[in-house]
């Protein structure tokens, strides 16, 4: 892994992303990611704590995030696709185990072998594909078996297990190193589906070769030790997303999004604001146009909802979010304090990723993974352990 010997990796200094030309700055706190991982480790002391780093580390950059997590103790990583696994392999050490959640598609199975990727086998078809690869390799190949414990998304059904029992040859050449499932309602701790899925997984796993068990991702960890089993797979929690809505978020915030003010103007009662003129004030207002829009991942569904912040002053979002901009009410800002080209917080100390998601009618996962690539990106903390990517 390449080494960057400075406290802050500032991608804005890259000729492609000078801060003077970017409309907004996204700051990623690598220390906070490391702190969140270590905190989760303490919660699951009896289990191994993996790290889910799919979707480019939830939009924050595999090349920056993965080495920090490895140095924090992560020895297992989960990605969704084979290409993500190949990309991750280039920035972590050879001893790290990389698991591909979507399994080995027929035209990518050979690359799983080539790059040392462990596939999750979700169906009888995938088992057959991986068995064929083991024949070509001339040796058993490591794999994860996923069972469908009730979510009806991925995994082997009870009927599939019947087929496997009827023909034991179907599993020849497979070295099963993990049996997993996934909780559908873990963010609702009192939901009866959680206990039902756990019991169903235990029942189904008893019909498979003996192997460590994994059921819980981020929210499942907070259901308690009964759900930790042998391996947990946190993803969103690493990046500061709240595990549920039952209390304060115990995780450290990871991202801050600040955007430049492009223009300030005063409007009179009844004047329209934005596309469709969906907002018209009933008294004179001062407004600012800010350089972030839905092309940057700030959802149009948040139109007329939520706010930005300037220092300790809330700036309500007015009217529709445009592709490259949105408009906020700055009437409460003292005259002359906020000027064009200064920055306001869209995600920051007073407004979390989850707050932004709630205003847009979505979840923090979608907000993070939708954040665009037009920002000036700064990575702070732990930069000396992180590899600078593109």
Per annotation, catalytic residue among 37, 54, 58, 279 = 54
* SS (HEC) of the chain: CCCCCCCEEEHHHCCCCCCCCCCEEEEEEHHHHHHHHHHHHHHCCCCEECEECHHHHHCCCHHHHHHHHHHCCCCEEEECCHHHHHHHHCCCCCCCEEEECCCCCCCCHHHHHHCCEEEEECCHHHHHHHHHHHHHHCCCEEEEEEECCCCCCCCECHHHHHHHHHCHHHHCCEEEEEEECCCCCCCCCCCHHHHHHHHHHHHHHCCCCCCCEECCCHHHHCCCHHHCCCEECCCHHHHCCCCCCCCCCCCCCCEEEEEEEEEEEEECCCCCECHHHCECCCCCEEEEEECCCHHHCCCHHHCCCCEEEECCEEEEEECCCCCCCEEEECCCCCCCCCCCCCEEEEEECCECHHHHHHHHCCCHHHHHHHCCCCCEEEEECCHHHCCCCC
Catalytic choice (95, 139, 227, 275) = 275
Active-site residue flag, 275: yes
How far is residue 302's CA from residue 317's CA, in Å, rounded to a whole number?
Answer: 8
**Alpha carbon distance 293, 223 (integer Å):** 37
Other C-beta atoms lying within 10 Å of the C-beta of residue 34: 22
Q: How many CB atoms lie within 10 A of CB 208?
A: 17
User: Which residues are the active-site residues?
Assistant: 54, 275
């Amino acid at each position: 892994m390449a080494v960057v010997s400075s406290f802050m990796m500032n991608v804005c200094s890259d000729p492609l992303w000078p801060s003077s030309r970017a409309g907004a700055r996204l700051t990623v706190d690598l220390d906070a990611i490391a702190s969140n991982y270590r905190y989760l480790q303490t919660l699951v002391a009896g289990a191994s704590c993996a790290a889910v780093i799919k979707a480019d580390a939830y939009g924050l950059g595999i090349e920056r995030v993965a080495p920090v997590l490895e140095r924090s103790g992560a020895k297992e990583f989960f990605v969704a696709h084979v290409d993500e696994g190949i990309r991750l392999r280039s920035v972590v050490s050879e001893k790290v185990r990389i698991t591909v959640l979507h399994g080995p598609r027929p035209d990518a199975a050979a690359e799983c072998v080539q790059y040392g990727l462990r596939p999750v086998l979700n169906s009888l078809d995938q088992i057959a594909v991986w068995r064929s690869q083991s024949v070509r390799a001339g040796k058993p190949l490591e794999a994860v078996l996923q069972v469908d414990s009730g979510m009806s998304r991925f995994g082997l059904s009870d009927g599939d297990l019947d087929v496997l029992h009827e023909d034991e040859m179907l599993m020849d050449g497979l070295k099963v190193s993990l049996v997993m499932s996934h909780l559908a309602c873990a963010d609702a701790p009192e939901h009866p589906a959680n206990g039902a899925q756990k019991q169903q997984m235990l029942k189904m796993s008893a019909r498979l070769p003996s192997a460590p068990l994994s059921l819980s991702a981020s929210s499942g960890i907070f259901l308690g030790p009964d759900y930790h089993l042998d391996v947990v797979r946190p993803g969103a929690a690493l990046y500061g997303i709240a595990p549920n809505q039952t209390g304060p978020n115990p995780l450290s915030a990871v991202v801050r999004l600040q955007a430049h003010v492009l223009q300030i103007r005063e409007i009179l009662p009844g004047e329209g604001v934005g596309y469709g003129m969906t907002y018209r004030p009933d008294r004179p207002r001062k407004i600012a146009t800010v350089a972030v829009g839905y092309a940057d991942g700030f959802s149009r569904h948040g139109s007329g909802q939520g706010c930005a912040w300037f220092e300790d002053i809330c700036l309500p979002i007015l009217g529709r979010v445009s592709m490259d901009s949105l408009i906020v009410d700055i009437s409460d800002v003292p005259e002359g304090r906020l000027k064009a080209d200064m920055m306001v917080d869209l995600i920051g100390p007073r407004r979390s990723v989850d707050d932004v998601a709630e205003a847009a009618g979505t979840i923090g996962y979608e907000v993070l993974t939708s954040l665009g690539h037009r920002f000036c990106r700064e990575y702070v903390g732990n930069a000396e352990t992180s590899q600078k990517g593109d």
